[in-house]
Amino acid sequence: MNGLDHVAILVSDLDAAVKLYRDVYGLELVELEEVPTEKVRVAIFGHGAGRIELVSPTGPARASTTCASRCPISRGRWLR
C-alpha cells in the first residue's frame, strides 16, 4: 500500500452529513452521486489522494451490510 487514497465514512443521513462537512468543516463538495447497483448515495469531498467519501444506504439494508458487500476488509484495508 502506497499512502492514503481515500477515506469512506458510512452515514445514515447523507444530506445532514454533507451540510456538516461543507458548512461547518469547510470542505469542498466535489461530487454527489447515487450508485443504484450498490444501493448507496455518495458525496465526495476533495481531489486526489486523501479525499473523503460519505456513503449512505438508499434502501432498508443496514449500513454495515451495505459497506461489507461494497468494500470487503482484508487485513484492515478497504479493497475494491
Read off the pLDDT of residues 8-62 as tens digits, 9 standing for 90 and up.
999 999 999 999 999 999 999 999 999 999 899 999 999 888 899 999 999 875 5
For residue 71, the model assigns a pLDDT of 53
**Please, which residues have CB within 8 angstroms of residue 76's CB and are 6 or more apart in sequence?**
none
pTM of the entire predicted model = 0.71
Could you state, in order of their start, the residue ranges of all structural domains in the chain? 8-73
The kind and range of the H/E element at 65 are helix 63-70
Q: Report the chain's terminal Cα–Cα distance, integer Å.
A: 13
Superfamily, domain 8-73? 2,3-Dihydroxybiphenyl 1,2-Dioxygenase, domain 1 (3.10.180.10)
pLDDT band at 75 (very low <50, low <70, confident <90, very high): very low
For residue 79, the model assigns a pLDDT of 40
Strand order in the sheet with 6-10: 6-10, 51-57, 40-45, 29-35
